[in-house]
Amino acid sequence: MRYGSVTAVEQVSFNAHAGRVTVILGPNGAGKTSTIEACEGFRSVTAGSVRVLGLDPQRDRKQLNKRIGVMLQDGGIYPTARVGEVVAHYCSLYGKGVVATEVIKTVGLDHRTKSTWKKLSGGEQQRLSLALALTARPEVAFLDEPTSGVDVNGRDMIRAVIKDLASTGCAVVLATHELDEAERCADDVVIFHQAKIVANGSLESIRSQSYEIRFRSGIAFDVAALAKYLDFPIQNLGEEYVIMGTADAAVIGKFSEWMSFHGADIRDLRAGAQRLEDIFRRLTTGGVQ
Amino acid sequence: MRVLFAQLRSEIRVIARNAEQLLVIIGIPAALLIFFSQVDVLPTNGQTPVDFLLPGIFALAIMSTAMVSLGIATGFERSYSVLKRLGATPLGTGRLVLAKSLAVVLIEILQLVVLYSIAVMLGKEANIANVLVLIAAIFAGTLAFAGIGLLMAGTLRAEINLAAQNGLYLLLLLLGGVIFPLDELPEPLQNVGKMLPSGALADVLRGAITDTAAYGQNSWIVLACWALLAPLTATKFFRWN
């Protein structure tokens, strides 16, 4: 996908599955919104193809619009529109028998039905925008930055609504630049960097490729010798060391023996999968040694 | 039909809730009609002031609704991504345009009834020379002004569009023979005025309401050109977001 001479998205390929939350993760300008908008039919691709529910988002837009729910990054609601009215309006447009008052209650705005969009807080605006996506009773929902500018309680509510939506069999595709949000919501993750996908798979599988043992030590030791002994690379972060690619108990045992034999102590030992934030940093900054 | 009426309700709600738009739609035409009917400062080509003013005020009302009100609202809808969001629903472009058109027509009917009632109260005899020509003129005028309004709304930034719509409204009001006869203007401006949609519509409406059109067929030709070209140009250049 290109804007003039700028390539917005290149060689992107991923699938989103029914009943799962697929998070498109990447820094601002990485191509997340362009990709979502191509799926929604707002943008055309210069090469390749996009299929949503087996349909071409541009050619079959009329059919597709009846089956997808959309939450735009900037809302798309008139400032003087009232919560109750705008949800009822969208319920009528989709005609799926969704009851406006129930959707409003689901997103926790039942005390704000008479309020206009411009009077809502940032978090409430996001929840109203999410409510409009729900009025479609969607088979696929595209949510662009749904928790952006939302407070902690509001985030909990939005996450719960998203999980509920996926549990009905809806394929939820969510774009965010917030790593913590992605880690809390995602079943599957697609990581974008500089207009390309750098990782794609279930959150579990992506994290399982990044097991590590972290520790500190008050006594200097030969890092290269330890790495050779364990047969795993070790990263020296100054304050902290990371044995990369394993969290295996047997390796931890060997490591403890080696450190003890060489008179080095072990402090703050932690073993497990890397946090998504660390994986993301590694993938988008050229990797670590 | 359910979808169309849902959108129509929404369109009317947006206009009804916008005080500035109500002022332009009803307030200004009614105020001009009442003021210049009572204060005898304008040349009226030998007619009573209210008889002379009513066709021009009708033209002004159509311009207010079809161009300024529709254009400003649509411009802001673009800037707030309302149109984009609606584009992801089953509404479709056809029903969106139809709903907007019906909202304009309903408001025009309301305007014309209110303005005609005021005119009758001010001494206008309650008859219209040619109802069919009146309806055709309103239809053509609505097409022309909606085309101009949507062309600006679909190409300019919302704030610039707001200023441009109001500026053009004033220009068309002053140069269009709406509240005084075109032959009161200097000759070069007269020729410009005859080519403007406001001037052509006001003249055609004078023919329909009081049978006093100054330029006859020429005004119909000018109005028809605007009614055809403005919507076509708007369709070609309109950007939804």
ipTM score of the complex?
0.82
Instruction: Find the mean pLDDT for residues A67-73.
Output: 95
Nearest CB to A93 within list B18, B80, B89: B89
Where is pLDDT greater, at B9 or B19?
A: B9
pLDDT in tens, B26-36: 899 999 999 98
**What pLDDT score was predicted for residue A289?**
32
Q: Nearest-5° angle of CA B56, CA B15, CA B241?
A: 105
> Distance between CA atoms of A82 and B59, rounded to whole angstroms?
33
pTM over 0.95: no
Contact status, residue A206 vs residue A279, Cβ threshold 8 Å: yes
Is it the case that residue B37 has pLDDT exceeding 70? yes
**What pLDDT score was predicted for residue B130?**
87
Interface contact B9, partner A, CB < 8 A: yes
Is it the case that residue B43 has pLDDT exceeding 90? no
Q: Do B80 and A95 touch (CB under 8 A)?
A: no
pLDDT in tens, B155-185: 999 889 999 999 999 999 888 888 887 778 8
Q: How many CB atoms neighbour CB A43 within 10 A?
A: 20
For residue B200 the two structure tokens come to: 């052509």
Is it the case that residue A209 has pLDDT exceeding 70? yes
Q: Do B90 and A92 touch (CB under 8 A)?
A: no
Contact status, residue A158 vs residue A145, Cβ threshold 8 Å: no
Nearest CB to A92 within list B6, B14, B84: B6
**Residues 50-109 (B) with a CB less than 8 A from some CB of A:** 76-77, 80-82, 84-92
**What pLDDT score was predicted for residue A131?**
97
**What pLDDT score was predicted for residue A288?**
36
Contact status, residue B199 vs residue B177, Cβ threshold 8 Å: yes
Q: Do A78 and B14 touch (CB under 8 A)?
A: yes
Coil vs helix vs strand at A217: coil
Is it the case that residue B126 has pLDDT exceeding 70? no
**What pLDDT score was predicted for residue B178?**
82
A69–chain B nearest CA distance, Å: 8
Across the A/B interface, how many CB contacts are shorter than 8 Å? 70
Q: How many CB atoms neighbour CB A243 within 10 A?
A: 23
User: Can you tell me which residue has the tokens 């450190």?
Assistant: A259
Could you tell me what percent of chain A has a pLDDT over 70? 98
CA dist A8 → A1, A71, A285 (Å)? 5, 21, 19
For residue A165 the two structure tokens come to: 């939506």
Counting beta carbons within 10 angstroms of the beta carbon of residue A132, is it exposed (0 to 12), middle (13 to 18) or buried (19 or more)? buried
Interface contact B239, partner A, CB < 8 A: no
Instruction: Find the mean pLDDT for residues B144-156.
Output: 93
Is it the case that residue B116 has pLDDT exceeding 90? yes
Coil vs helix vs strand at B211: coil
Instruction: Find the mean pLDDT for residues A87-99.
Output: 96
**What pLDDT score was predicted for residue B125?**
75
In sign, the C-alpha dihedral spanning A221, A227, A232, A235 is positive
Interface contact A124, partner B, CB < 8 A: no
Interface contact B7, partner A, CB < 8 A: yes
Task: Spell out which residues of chain A touch residue B84, defining contact as CB-CB under 8 Å.
Answer: 42, 72, 76
Q: Do A93 and B90 touch (CB under 8 A)?
A: yes
> Distance between CA atoms of B81 and B212, rounded to whole angstroms?
46
**What pLDDT score was predicted for residue B235?**
85
Confidence of residue A130 (pLDDT cuts 50, 70, 90): very high
Q: How many CB atoms neighbour CB A188 within 10 A?
A: 23
Which residues share a beta bridge with A71?
Answer: A143
Contact status, residue A268 vs residue A217, Cβ threshold 8 Å: no
Nearest to B235 by CA among B151, B149, B165: B151
pLDDT in tens, A227-286: 999 999 998 888 899 998 888 899 999 999 999 999 999 999 999 887 788 788 777 765
pLDDT in tens, B71-113: 999 999 999 999 999 999 999 888 888 899 899 999 999 999 9
Q: Do A94 and B241 touch (CB under 8 A)?
A: no
- How does the average pLDDT of chain A come out, rounded? 90
Instruction: Find the mean pLDDT for residues A145-169.
Output: 92
Nearest CB to A95 within list B2, B77, B241: B2
Coil vs helix vs strand at A5: coil
Interface contact A79, partner B, CB < 8 A: yes
